[in-house]
A and B are shown apart, each in its own frame.
Chain A
Amino acid sequence: AQSVTQPDIHITVSEGASLELRCNYSYGATPYLFWYVQSPGQGLQLLLKYFSGDTLVQGIKGFEAEFKRSQSSFNLRKPSVHWSDAAEYFCAVGADNQGVKLIFGQGTELSVKP
């Protein structure tokens, strides 16, 4: 069955430090992969998505993610974290061949230290 694992439930980084949030997926075919961010009291905002092509994708707010098929991973990175990046981050995979039904990971909560 398709699944998404985010191994880190909570991560704390210092402002200005680099960030990497891990995501591993289990899916038989070529996956459609997404990263969403949820700020407190807000809905989910799409940061970036991978459908095909270049395995390094750029997103909004300075985030990027790299698709590594051999490792079944789609880790999210940011070179320098800002205090406003504190939020919960969700990795998701499109669970059908149309990418309609999203399967989400459990989320990683990011805290930013001043």
Chain B
Amino acid sequence: DSGVTQTPKHLITATGQRVTLRCSPRSGDLSVYWYQQSLDQGLQFLIQYYNGEERAKGNILERFSAQQFPDLHSELNLSSLELGDSALYFCASSALGRTVNTEAFFGQGTRLTVV
């Protein structure tokens, strides 16, 4: 158990809908990262938050947004869902704003299926 909790584990929704994925980082970790794992794109970095502030951005679509709350949990919002958004979404956390000299701990992921 990495200590990173993601809910829900599975989500099935229809095209055009909006969903929210939730991540609780390890106790004391200030950084949260979101990754998308799909068959065609592999594992891709989406976005990072550090202590409530956006720190780095990757290949995140404009239909997607994220935030980190004062209690450090994070939510990833996916809207106007398309079939191609079906993927495993991982959250990771680390103690600092950098993975150098530390490591990112990954949750078990939320499997999103868009039908």
A interface list, Cβ under 8 A from B: 32, 34, 36, 41-46, 49, 51, 90, 92, 94-96, 98-107
Asked if A100 contacts B99 (CB within 8 A), the reply is yes
The smallest beta-carbon distance between B88 and chain A, in angstroms, is 9
Q: A43-B4, A46-B103, A100-B48 are in contact. Are A90 and B97 (CB under 8 A)?
A: no
B interface list, Cβ under 8 A from A: 2, 4, 31, 33, 35, 42-45, 48, 55-56, 58, 90, 92, 97-101, 103-109
Q: A43-B106, A45-B2, A49-B103 are in contact. Are A98 and B97 (CB under 8 A)?
A: yes
- A99 to B106, alpha carbons, bound, how many Å? 16
- Of B44, B45, B106, which is within 8 A of A44 by CB? B106
- A36-B106, A43-B4, A102-B45 are known contacts; what are 12 more A-B pairs with Cβ within 8 Å? A43-B108, A45-B2, A94-B99, A95-B45, A96-B56, A98-B98, A99-B98, A100-B97, A101-B45, A101-B48, A101-B56, A102-B104
